[in-house]
């Protein structure tokens, strides 16, 4: 419980603070500045577009100069003479099918590049396996255990990609697995 003299001191302090806030000088308003003189807008002169250069084509002939360019052709029904004679029907030419070949497969490059990618993927997978073997997953906290499982999944998927001969993807997955596994191995030390 608060004693009467303490309550009086607190009340006096609050009144003094309120009076001090009211006694402060008010913010002075900034005098209005004279209005800025805005320059007149520039004249709106739009230059005419340059004429199109004439198209270079064959020299004009009487047919092209006598017809207007935008005039549609008149409709002309087909004549009976355009039908082929049933007696002189030629058989359509026989088109030989091209020899059957295997569809082309996309490969990242020459065989030397493929073997290099495969070697890199296997090296990274081995490094990840070594680092993961140093870690005991049951001793890890939940976040680290999740990272451990992620590194194992990356390593397993890299092995699947190698089996499918997708070397670029295998290298990417193996590098991710090795990076995560190395980080986990450093935490244990």
- Residue 39 CB burial class (10 angstroms; 0-12, 13-18, ≥19): exposed
At 146 the pLDDT is 93
Q: How many CB atoms lie within 10 A of CB 3?
A: 8
pLDDT in tens, the chain (189 residues): 678 888 899 888 888 877 777 666 666 777 788 888 888 888 887 777 777 776 666 555 555 555 556 666 766 666 555 555 556 666 666 666 656 565 555 555 566 688 899 999 999 999 999 999 998 888 888 999 999 999 999 999 999 999 998 999 999 999 999 999 999 888 876
At 78 the pLDDT is 66
**Phi, psi dihedral angles at 85 (to 5 degrees):** -70, 135
At 110 the pLDDT is 67
At 127 the pLDDT is 94
Q: What is the DSSP letter of 48?
A: P
**HSE-up of residue 74 (Cα within 13 Å, Cβ side):** 2
What does the alpha-carbon distance between residue 131 and residue 129 come to, in Å, rounded to a whole number?
6
At 108 the pLDDT is 52
At 52 the pLDDT is 75
What does the alpha-carbon distance between residue 44 and residue 36 come to, in Å, rounded to a whole number?
23
Record the tokens describing residue 48, joined without a space: 């005419």
Taking each helix axis from N to C end, the angle separating 111-133 and 142-163, rounded to the nearest 10 degrees, works out to 150
Nearest to 173 by CA among 132, 129, 121: 121
What does the alpha-carbon distance between residue 158 and residue 180 come to, in Å, rounded to a whole number?
14
At 152 the pLDDT is 94
């Amino acid at each position: 419980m608060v004693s009467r003299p303490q309550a009086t001191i607190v009340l006096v302090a609050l009144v003094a603070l309120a009076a001090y806030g009211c006694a402060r000088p008010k913010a002075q308003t900034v005098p209005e500045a004279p209005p800025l003189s805005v320059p007149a807008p520039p004249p709106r002169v739009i230059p005419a577009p340059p004429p199109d250069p004439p198209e270079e084509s064959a020299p004009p002939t009487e047919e092209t100069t006598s017809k207007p360019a935008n005039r549609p052709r008149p409709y002309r029904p087909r004549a009976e003479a355009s039908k082929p004679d049933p007696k002189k029907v030629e058989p359509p030419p026989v088109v030989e099918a091209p020899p059957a070949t295997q569809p082309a497969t996309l490969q990242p490059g020459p065989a030397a590049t493929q073997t290099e990618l495969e070697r890199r993927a296997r090296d990274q997978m081995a490094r990840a396996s070594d680092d993961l073997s140093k870690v005991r997953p049951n001793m890890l906290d939940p976040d680290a255990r999740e990272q451990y499982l992620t590194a194992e999944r990356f390593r397993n998927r890299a092995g699947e990609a190698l089996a499918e001969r997708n070397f670029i993807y295998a290298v990417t997955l193996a590098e991710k697995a090795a990076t995560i596994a190395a980080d986990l191995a450093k935490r244990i030390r």
